[in-house]
């Protein structure tokens, strides 16, 4: 085999919901890499695999699209890559068009449209197992003849499901041949279907029955409410044993490591800076993972677009679109993937509004703050023998974020000048069982992102904070706690007058600063501040009873409300800049959230002081 | 008759998709998605508020359309059930 054929670039292209990403995962396993196309905000997913004969295949997973007439930046990228207009990835040697075998009537039109580009193509008939179950008979040879391109059958969810495609890639590159121009692609699809495909009289009664319930105007909304409520209860209760485990492990590691070090600045940095900070944040990994697990499963099962269908009219009334539901739900995990997911919203106005309000969805980084404060100030009592009061308060905080988002988007809608039509036009995919493999890969991706944040930004901030709160050391004969003399203490005291109307003491003021970079650091910062001001190692592990004793309830409530709106973390601001390509939007977003946060906390603090 | 007027559960066939204004991208997308003359379709569900959006089954796909999108699609009631 010579070098020129030992490696090859292919691109996976297809309609949304054709199982393309599952096929990509199947082909590449863990060997994939996600980046962005230069200058635009479209995800570039690449991977590698080897064919049975050892040919090295570089594969590009292009955004799903219905047509080469793009209606979003994602679809434009797919078209441009297929036409070789994107230098950084070059022209693919072969375009592998993935089509859902159960939905060829729609997907073949795009295959024919792509073919008119005159590039070598392979058609991968995906979901062949599902087609078989539905009694759809496809004569691949006839299909291949009619379309004048190789056709392989794939089942992305099975181990051997992509073998036929890998084998096909060992064969010589298919010639594009002469392309017959069809004036009416839909008519041509009907002709091809008549020759090669037998579709039984449509009867997918199980899915139909399910849809009658899930999309029912009343039942459907109730189901949605239950699903959402369960999700948040799970995050708050199922994660507890795992969190205890993580916390115990870090505590053990901390004491093991610091016992090896001589007492002094280094030991102090390691136990009070590194482990106190890192430990408090790592403890929330289980919650974040459970949240992502729910979102991934809802997404994979096909439920999320149905939720978007149910909510579209409500969201439209509030100045959003049903499509905003998925980015906003992702924002509950983290605003960054949420804001990135707005790329699937075609209308630029809807997209911008969604970006503006996505940070109001309570991201998982705020959970540490909520958990700490709820644990310290809200009693763990049962309400109506069914719910836990702590869970209910958490639910209320999430609702406050959601309602504020709707209010803000409504204001944006009313003040916008361009009032021309917004489109929905959304396909509802079939239901499917979430594939454990794809879920696991999705979770793994998110864990890596979280860990990177923890080890990168968060860790360095925690260390900087430790330095600020440890130096300069108190003078001889000092009467106040050591931290009062430190840089951090001075900064905190300096900020205090601005924040005392909303009930924040100077320790909270210090924690707010690193909280700007990453919200979850606020807790780590409090741990660091109190560990050092208390001069007691145990304080880091026992922050909750400590603040319960020192803060008033209005202060705690005010801080909870502050974090509903909280100034966004720097990474969110960076992603808004990247996605909107405008500093103006970044300033607007930061400004309005800060104002909302201050106002809401002020109201909460003052009212709570009057009533409690 | 327009698709926006089709009752839940009724079957109809597409006559045409009409541009609401010149170079109507929404109408073009509807045609790309298979809303072309002769295709059978059916309204399978309607949203909880104002019966909007509607869920339209066409060929083996389902699309959620708002009423002003559906109003671009001219249909004829199918004679057979």
Question: How many Cβ pairs closer than 8 A exist between chain A and B?
Answer: 102
**Structure tokens, A508:** 């909270």
Rounded Cα gap, residues A289 and A283, in angstroms: 11
Q: Which pLDDT score, from 0 to 100, does residue A4 have?
A: 47
> Can you give the residue range of the structural domain that contains B21?
3-57+65-77
Asked if residue A182 and residue A39 are part of one domain, the reply reads yes
**In terms of Cα–Cα distance, which of A534, A546, A544 is closest to A469?**
A534
Residues 6+ apart with CB under 8 A from A541: A247, A251
Subunit contact A66:B20, Cβ cutoff 8 A: no
Rounded Cα gap, residues A246 and A259, in angstroms: 20
Rounded Cα gap, residues A413 and A351, in angstroms: 12
Residue A217 · residue B46 · CB < 8 Å: yes
Rounded Cα gap, residues A517 and A567, in angstroms: 10
B57 or A465: which carries more pLDDT confidence? B57
Sign for the pseudo-dihedral over CA of A215, A220, A224, A226: negative
A321 or A335: which carries more pLDDT confidence? A321
A93 or A339: which carries more pLDDT confidence? A93
Q: How confident is the model at residue A41 (pLDDT cuts 50, 70, 90)?
A: low
Subunit contact A106:B34, Cβ cutoff 8 A: yes
Residue pLDDT, tens place only, A204-241: 677 888 899 999 999 999 999 999 888 877 876 777 78
Does ipTM surpass 0.95 in this model?
no
Residue B30 · residue B72 · CB < 8 Å: yes
Chain centroid to Cα A476, Å, comes to 51
Peptide bond just before A472 cis, omega within 30 deg: yes
Subunit contact A423:B48, Cβ cutoff 8 A: no
Rounded Cα gap, residues A247 and A371, in angstroms: 14
CB-CB neighbors (< 8 A) of A105 in chain B: 34, 59-61
CB-CB neighbors (< 8 A) of B60 in chain A: 102-106, 199, 202
Q: Residue A151: what are its φ and ψ, rounded to 5°? A: -125, 125
Interface check B32 vs A, CB under 8 A: yes
Q: What is the CA radius of gyration of chain B?
A: 12
Subunit contact A428:B62, Cβ cutoff 8 A: yes
Helix A521-534 to helix A367-377 angle, to the nearest 10 degrees?
50
Q: How many domains does chain A have?
A: 2
The CATH number of the domain holding residue B14 is 2.30.30.90
Residue pLDDT, tens place only, A250-290: 888 888 887 887 777 777 777 766 776 677 667 767 877 88
A575-603: average pLDDT? 89
Q: Calculate the CA dihedral of residues A212, A324, A340, A354 and round it to 10 degrees.
A: -170
Subunit contact A425:B64, Cβ cutoff 8 A: yes
In terms of residues, how long is chain A? Answer: 612
Chain centroid to Cα A545, Å, comes to 33
Q: Does residue A179 lie within any of the structural domains?
A: yes
Rounded Cα gap, residues A139 and A191, in angstroms: 14
**DSSP letters for B27-72:** HHHHHHTT--TT-EEEEEEEEEETTEEEEEEETTEEEEE-HHHHTT
Residue A43 · residue A63 · CB < 8 Å: yes
Q: Calculate the CA dihedral of residues A373, A374, A378, A384 and round it to 10 degrees.
A: 170
Which of B11, B40, B61, B67 is the best substitution to test chain A (most A C-beta atoms within 10 A)?
B61
Q: How confident is the model at residue A111 (pLDDT cuts 50, 70, 90)?
A: very high
Asked if residue A242 and residue A194 are part of one domain, the reply reads no
- The partner residue sitting opposite A220, judged by closest CB among B48, B59, B64, is B48
Interface check B33 vs A, CB under 8 A: yes
**In terms of Cα–Cα distance, which of A348, A442, A476 is closest to A76?**
A348
A274 or A586: which carries more pLDDT confidence? A586
Residue A122 · residue A150 · CB < 8 Å: yes
CB-CB neighbors (< 8 A) of A208 in chain B: 44
Does residue A585 carry a pLDDT above 70? yes
Does residue A574 carry a pLDDT above 90? no
Minimal CA separation from B65 to chain A, in Å: 5
A402-428: average pLDDT? 87
Q: Does residue A147 lie within any of the structural domains?
A: yes
Q: How confident is the model at residue A5 (pLDDT cuts 50, 70, 90)?
A: low
Subunit contact A423:B66, Cβ cutoff 8 A: yes
Subunit contact A309:B64, Cβ cutoff 8 A: yes
Minimal CA separation from A105 to chain B, in Å: 7
Rounded Cα gap, residues A586 and A576, in angstroms: 6
Residue pLDDT, tens place only, A138-184: 999 999 999 889 999 999 878 788 888 999 988 888 876 666 777 78
Which strands, in side-by-side order, build the sheet including A151-153? A32-36, A43-50, A56-61, A7-14, A94-100, A121-126, A151-153
Residues 6+ apart with CB under 8 A from A112: A147, A182, A185, A188, A189
A445-458: average pLDDT? 70
Subunit contact A106:B50, Cβ cutoff 8 A: no
Subunit contact B55:A309, Cβ cutoff 8 A: yes
Interface check B22 vs A, CB under 8 A: no
Subunit contact A308:B65, Cβ cutoff 8 A: no
Does residue A3 carry a pLDDT above 60? no
Interface check B1 vs A, CB under 8 A: no
The Cβ-side half-sphere exposure at A33, using a 13 Å CA radius, reads 9
Residue pLDDT, tens place only, A520-552: 677 777 777 776 555 444 444 567 787 888 888
Supply the mean pLDDT for chain B.
89
Interface check B45 vs A, CB under 8 A: yes
Subunit contact A217:B46, Cβ cutoff 8 A: yes
Q: Which pLDDT score, from 0 to 100, does residue A540 have?
A: 44
Does residue A60 carry a pLDDT above 90? yes
Decide which of A517, A551, A585 is a domain's last residue: A551
Matching residue, tokens 């992102």: A449
Subunit contact A426:B34, Cβ cutoff 8 A: no
B64 or B22: which carries more pLDDT confidence? B64
Q: Does residue A502 lie within any of the structural domains?
A: yes
Q: Does residue A82 lie within any of the structural domains?
A: yes
Lowest mean pLDDT among A5-9, A76-80, A459-463, A530-534: A530-534
Peptide bond just before B53 cis, omega within 30 deg: yes
Q: Does residue A319 lie within any of the structural domains?
A: no
Asked if residue A189 and residue A49 are part of one domain, the reply reads yes
Interface check B78 vs A, CB under 8 A: no
The CATH number of the domain holding residue A182 is 3.40.50.300
Q: Which pLDDT score, from 0 to 100, does residue A532 have?
A: 58
A578-593: average pLDDT? 88
Does residue B75 carry a pLDDT above 60? yes
Supply the mean pLDDT for chain A.
83
Q: What is the DSSP letter of B2?
A: B
- Helix (H) and strand (E) counts for chain A? 30, 12
Q: How many domains does chain B have?
A: 1
**DSSP letters for A266-314:** HHHIIIIIIIHHHHHHHTTHHHHHHHHHHHHHHHHHTHHHHHHHHHHHH
Matching residue, tokens 């009907």: A190
Residue A337 · residue A355 · CB < 8 Å: no
> Can you give the residue range of the structural domain that contains A466?
238-283+435-551
Q: Which pLDDT score, from 0 to 100, does residue A202 have?
A: 63
Residue A269 · residue A463 · CB < 8 Å: yes
Does residue B81 carry a pLDDT above 50? no
Q: How confident is the model at residue A486 (pLDDT cuts 50, 70, 90)?
A: confident
Q: Which pLDDT score, from 0 to 100, does residue A454 have?
A: 64
- Could you tell me which residues of chain A have a Cβ less than 8 Å from any Cβ in chain B? 66-67, 69, 71, 102-106, 109, 186, 199, 202, 208, 211-212, 215-218, 220-221, 305, 308-310, 312-314, 316-317, 322, 421, 423-428
- The partner residue sitting opposite B45, judged by closest CB among A71, A103, A211, is A211
Asked if residue A29 and residue A104 are part of one domain, the reply reads yes
- The partner residue sitting opposite A66, judged by closest CB among B32, B52, B60, is B32
Burial of A259 (0-12, 13-18, 19+ CB in 10 A): exposed
Residues 6+ apart with CB under 8 A from A603: none
Minimal CA separation from A73 to chain B, in Å: 15
- The partner residue sitting opposite A322, judged by closest CB among B29, B50, B64, is B64
Asked if residue A274 and residue A152 are part of one domain, the reply reads no
Lowest mean pLDDT among A123-127, A200-204, A298-302: A200-204
Q: Residue B56: what are its φ and ψ, rounded to 5°? A: -110, 125
Does residue A116 carry a pLDDT above 70? yes
Q: Which pLDDT score, from 0 to 100, does residue A595 have?
A: 92
Rounded Cα gap, residues A298 and A429, in angstroms: 12
Subunit contact B34:A71, Cβ cutoff 8 A: no
- The partner residue sitting opposite B53, judged by closest CB among A104, A216, A309, is A309
Q: Residue B34: what are its φ and ψ, rounded to 5°? A: 110, 5
Which of B9, B20, B32 is the best substitution to test chain A (most A C-beta atoms within 10 A)?
B32
**Structure tokens, A312:** 């579209």
Does residue B72 carry a pLDDT above 80? yes
A56 or A570: which carries more pLDDT confidence? A56
Residue A400 · residue A361 · CB < 8 Å: no
Q: Does residue A123 lie within any of the structural domains?
A: yes
Rounded Cα gap, residues A449 and A244, in angstroms: 22
């Amino acid at each position: 085999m010579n070098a020129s054929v030992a490696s090859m670039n292919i691109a996976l292209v297809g309609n949304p919901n054709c199982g393309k990403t599952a096929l990509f995962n199947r082909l590449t396993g863990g060997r994939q890499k996600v980046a962005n196309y230069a200058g635009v905000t479209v995800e570039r997913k690449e991977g590698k695999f080897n064919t049975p004969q050892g040919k090295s295949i570089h594969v590009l997973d292009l955004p799903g699209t219905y047509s080469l007439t793009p209606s979003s930046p994602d679809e434009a990228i797919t078209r441009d890559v297929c036409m070789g207009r994107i230098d950084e990835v070059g022209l693919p040697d072969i375009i592998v068009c993935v089509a859902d075998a159960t939905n060829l009537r729609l997907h073949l039109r795009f295959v024919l449209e792509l073919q008119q580009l005159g590039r070598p193509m392979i058609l991968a008939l995906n979901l062949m197992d599902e087609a078989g179950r539905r009694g759809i008979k496809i004569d691949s040879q006839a299909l291949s003849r009619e379309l004048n391109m190789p056709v392989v059958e794939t089942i992305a969810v099975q181990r051997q499901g992509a073998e036929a495609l890998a084998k096909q890639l060992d064969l010589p590159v298919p010639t594009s041949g002469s392309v017959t121009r069809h004036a009416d692609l839909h008519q041509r699809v009907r002709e091809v279907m008549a020759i090669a495909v037998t579709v039984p009289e449509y009867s997918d009664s199980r899915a139909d029955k399910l849809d009658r319930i899930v999309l029912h105007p009343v039942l459907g909304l109730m189901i949605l409410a239950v699903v959402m409520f369960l999700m948040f209860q799970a995050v708050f209760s199922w994660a507890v044993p795992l969190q205890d485990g993580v916390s115990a492990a870090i505590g053990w590691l901390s004491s093991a490591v610091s016992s090896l070090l001589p007492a002094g600045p280094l030991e102090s940095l390691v136990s009070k800076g590194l482990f106190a900070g890192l430990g408090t944040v790592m403890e929330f990994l289980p919650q974040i993972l459970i949240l992502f697990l729910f979102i991934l499963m809802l997404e994979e099962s096909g439920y999320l677009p149905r939720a978007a269908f149910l909510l579209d009219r409500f969201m439209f009334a509030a100045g959003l679109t049903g499509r905003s539901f998925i980015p906003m739900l992702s924002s509950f995990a983290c605003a960054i993937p949420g804001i990135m997911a707005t790329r699937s919203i075609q209308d630029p106005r809807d997209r911008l509004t969604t970006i503006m309000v996505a940070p109001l969805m309570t991201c998982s980084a705020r959970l540490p703050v909520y958990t700490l404060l709820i644990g310290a100030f809200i009693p763990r009592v049962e309400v109506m023998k069914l719910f836990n009061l702590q869970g209910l308060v958490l639910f209320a905080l999430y609702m406050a974020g959601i309602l504020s988002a709707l209010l803000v988007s409504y204001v944006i809608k009313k003040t916008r000048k361009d009032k021309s039509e917004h489109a929905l036009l959304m396909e509802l995919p079939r239901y499917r069982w979430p594939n454990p493999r794809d879920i696991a890969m999705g979770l793994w991706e998110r864990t890596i992102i979280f860990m990177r944040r923890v080890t990168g930004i968060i860790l360095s901030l925690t260390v900087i904070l430790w330095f600020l709160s440890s130096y300069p050391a108190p003078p001889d004969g000092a009467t106040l706690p050591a931290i009062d003399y430190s840089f951090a203490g001075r900064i905190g005291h300096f900020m205090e007058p601005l924040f005392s109307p909303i009930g924040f003491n100077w320790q909270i003021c210090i924690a707010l600063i690193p909280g700007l970079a990453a919200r979850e650091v606020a807790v780590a910062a409090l741990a660091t501040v109190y560990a050092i001001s208390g001069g007691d190692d145990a304080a880091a592990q026992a922050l909750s009873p400590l603040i319960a004793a020192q803060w008033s309830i209005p202060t705690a409530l005010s801080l909870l409300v502050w974090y509903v709106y909280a100034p966004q973390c720097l990474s969110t601001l960076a992603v808004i800049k990247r996605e909107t390509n405008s500093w103006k939007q970044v300033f607007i977003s930061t400004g309005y959230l800060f104002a909302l946060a201050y106002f809401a906390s002020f109201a909460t603090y003052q009212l709570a002081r009057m009533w409690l | 008759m327009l698709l926006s007027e089709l009752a839940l559960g009724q079957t109809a066939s597409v006559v045409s998709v009409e541009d609401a204004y010149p170079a109507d991208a929404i109408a073009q997308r509807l045609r790309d998605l298979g809303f072309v003359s002769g295709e059978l379709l059916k309204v399978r569900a309607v949203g909880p508020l104002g019966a909007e959006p509607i869920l339209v089954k066409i060929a083996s796909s389902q699309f959620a359309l708002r009423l002003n999108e559906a109003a671009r699609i001219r249909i004829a009631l199918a004679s057979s059930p």
